[in-house]
Amino acid sequence: MNRQIEITSDMRAILVDWLVEVQVSFEMTHETLYLVVKLVDFYLMKRDEMLKMEIYILNVLKFDINIPVNYHFQCRYARCIHPNMKTLTLFLYIYKMTLLEYDYVQEKASKLATASLLLALYMRSLGHCVSILEYYSAYRISELYSLVRQLNKLLIFSSYNSLKTVS
């Protein structure tokens, strides 16, 4: 993302916020939202000019848009852990907040999903589910501590209070 200079992190956050609003308005799946955000990020990392048609995006990506997005991991972990609705909603909220931030663009979707759910489990005092998450995610919890702390700071110090769609 550092190679492109046409869009700032604030501009990207506004774009993602708008994409969330479109997703809600058209009742699209969360998977569609996550895929679109990831495609935009990949496009921004690889493009020479900002304003090109959709076909250009697909050409740049060589039509390889079958990429893992967080939604797949959210569904898998939800099936494995069976969190209650409050925990699941918190998990989804934590992840949606990362869509606004450049800092998380390079993170693997599986790792970000695992860390988001881990933080939600800790926040909801469901530490007994951590070993299940560790088993199904294949991430050791110790690998995720710095990312979980970063996510926690994001929730506490979020500067995007004006972007209401994600919140």
pLDDT at 43: 78
Average pLDDT over residues 12-30: 90
Domain ranges for the chain, please list them: 9-157
Is residue 77 within 8 Å of 137, Cβ to Cβ? yes
pLDDT at 90: 93
pLDDT tens-digit series, residues 85-114? 999 999 989 988 998 888 898 999 999 999
pLDDT at 49: 54
- Look at residue 159 and tell me whether its pLDDT is greater than 70: no
pLDDT at 48: 56
- Look at residue 67 and tell me whether its pLDDT is greater than 80: no
Q: Which helix (H) or strand (E) holds 31?
A: helix 30-46
Average pLDDT over residues 118-147: 95
- Look at residue 163 and tell me whether its pLDDT is greater than 70: no
- Look at residue 82 and tell me whether its pLDDT is greater than 70: yes
Instruction: Show Cβ contacts of residue 96 under 8 Å, excluding neighbours closer than 6 positions.
Output: 20, 166
Tell me the pTM: 0.65
Arithmetic mean of pLDDT over the chain? 85
Report the C-alpha gap between 35 and 39 in whole angstroms.
6
pLDDT at 4: 60
| Domain 9-157 CATH assignment equals 3.50.50.60 | no
Q: Percentage of the chain with pLDDT > 90?
A: 44
Q: Rounded to a whole number, what is the distance in angstroms from the first to the last CA of the chain?
A: 24
- Of 4 and 73, more confident: 73
